[in-house]
Each structure stands twice: as C-alpha cells, then as structure tokens.
Amino acid sequence: MPWYRQFWFWFVFGPLIFIIILCGFTVSIALNNADDVIIDNYYKEGRMINQTLDQDKRAKALGLSAELRFDLESGEVILRFPHIPDDASLIPEQLLLFMSHPVKASRDQPIQLRAMGAGQYHGELAIRPEYAWYLTLYPVVELAQRNQADWSLSGEINFSKGESTLLQPRVN
C-alpha cells in the first residue's frame, strides 16, 4: 500500500499540515492588517508636546471652546463658538479640523471649516466616519501649519453614541 494511503501517516502528519496552513493564513492577516499605533518619528513628536501644550494654554487663556456637530446623512460638519474672544482676529475665516483615527493613520482626514456667520463654521466630510475619533481644531488652513497655530482645541467623539461633542483645551 502506498504511503499516502496509510492511516498512521495522516494521523501523525495531518494535524501538522493543517497547523502550517493555518499559520500561513495568520501571518498574512497580521501583515495585511497591521495597526499604525507606533509613529515613525516619536522623538520629534515628543519634542513637540511642549508646543502643543502652549497652544492649549493659550486657548484656555482666551476662554475658547467650541461645539461641534456632524450630520452623517449629508456629510456636513457644523462648528459653533459659544463665546467669541474680544480680539476677533484670533478666530480666522477658515479653520482646520483634524480628525484622527485611533488605529489607522490612513483614515485620518483634515476638514476645512469656513465661516458662515459670527462664530459659526461649516465644512464637509470626505468619508463617513464610524466609531471613535480624536478631534483637534486649529486656526490654520493647511495641516503642515498646525505647529505654528496660536491655539488648539481638542476632543473625542464616538459616532456609535452620538453626532456632537465639545472641543476644549486639554490643560486644566
């Protein structure tokens, strides 16, 4: 009888062959769906934390906070400042809302917000967000300029629980 028809061959090597195939699938899934949790240049990001803290302190000193509402059906983003500072130049005609996905950096999206009236801004979503996101508001037009911003407001939102949130400085 040939070897491939032997019961004991399949009894011993069958589970091993199955495990090797299963490991191949597991490795391919792990490589194709890896998380973007670790940033490439953590040293540079660590040095910039003081700058972002200064932006938050400036926003707190100005008494800034913002109410943010998403309309997921139409893709609209509406931002409102409940209290506008005395110096109106601190809040420009355009703002940048940066939506950061907690796991996938490829899903991050910057949203340009344009002034609609006194303390009201409007923007459009590029993709429909789901679940949890981190939000940061900057008084700049381009994402590359965010380090030069005078202030920043931050917040989080979970779209499975609601479509609105409050943005405020991260310092106490």
Distance of alpha carbon 128 from alpha carbon 161, whole angstroms: 15
Q: Which residue is listed with tokens 């796991």?
A: 103
- Position 44 pLDDT exceeds 70: no
- Please, are residues 151 and 137 in contact by the beta-carbon 8 Å criterion? no
CATH, domain range 42-167: 2.60.40
Model pLDDT, residue 121 = 92
Tens-digit pLDDT profile for residues 65-109: 999 999 988 989 999 988 877 666 677 889 999 999 888 888 889
**pLDDT for the residue 23:** 97
CB atoms within 10 A of CB 153: 26
At residue 4, what is the residue type?
Answer: Y
Residue ranges covered by each domain of the chain: 3-32, 42-167
pLDDT at 45 over 80: no
Confidence (pLDDT) at 37: 62
